Copies of this chain bind each other. A is one copy, B any other.
Amino acid sequence: MVNDMHHNLPDGLKLRNSKPTDHAGIISVLKDWWGGRDLTWMLPKLFLNHFTNTSFVIEKDGELIAFLIGFLSPARLAEGYIHFAGVHPDYRGVGLGKFLYQRFFDICKENQRDTNRACTSPVNRGSIEFHKKIGFDITRGNSEIDGLPVTLDYNKPGDPKVLFEIRI
């Protein structure tokens, strides 16, 4: 099913660019979608205001099913960065995450961006597996947690992150 979805979403699901007014709706699902973790701090309103051209939501009858917030790096001209992406728990395993990533990769390619980066917490095994499956490599860190290369103190002290990179 994943392979079939590169250019088509299942019936009833619709893709569109995100809008500033999507912010409250995305914030409201984070805890449910991330198994109780509160990641609200990761998505201040500015991400919805200023990166609409490279960010997307998938909806079904107006209900949020998945989102991806990314941007083309203004400082690293060969790079795109995927900041935050999530899929409704009831819609996992059918390729929606991959669909959103491919859509973002397409924009990167149109803009001569051949490298893409993302990062996640080492506790988020689902995210790590997802990125590996898509084809991301884990970049060398400065430490290791449960056999995974991590970069310590990434966003703040005591915040190890697994960093991903892919050539598209």
A residues neighboring B (CB under 8 Å):
24, 27, 40-42, 44-46, 49-54, 71-76, 79, 81, 83, 153-157
Contact = CB atoms under 8 A, between A and B. Distances in A.
Nearest to A50: B73
Given A52-B75, A156-B27, A83 B41 contact: no
> Copy number of this protein in the oligomer?
2
Given A40-B156, A45-B154, A50 B24 contact: no
Nearest to A24: B153
A76 B50 CA distance: 6
Given A27-B156, A53-B75, 18 more contacts: A27-B157, A40-B155, A40-B156, A41-B41, A44-B155, A45-B154, A45-B155, A46-B81, A46-B83, A49-B76, A49-B81, A50-B79, A51-B74, A52-B75, A53-B74, A54-B74, A71-B74, A74-B74
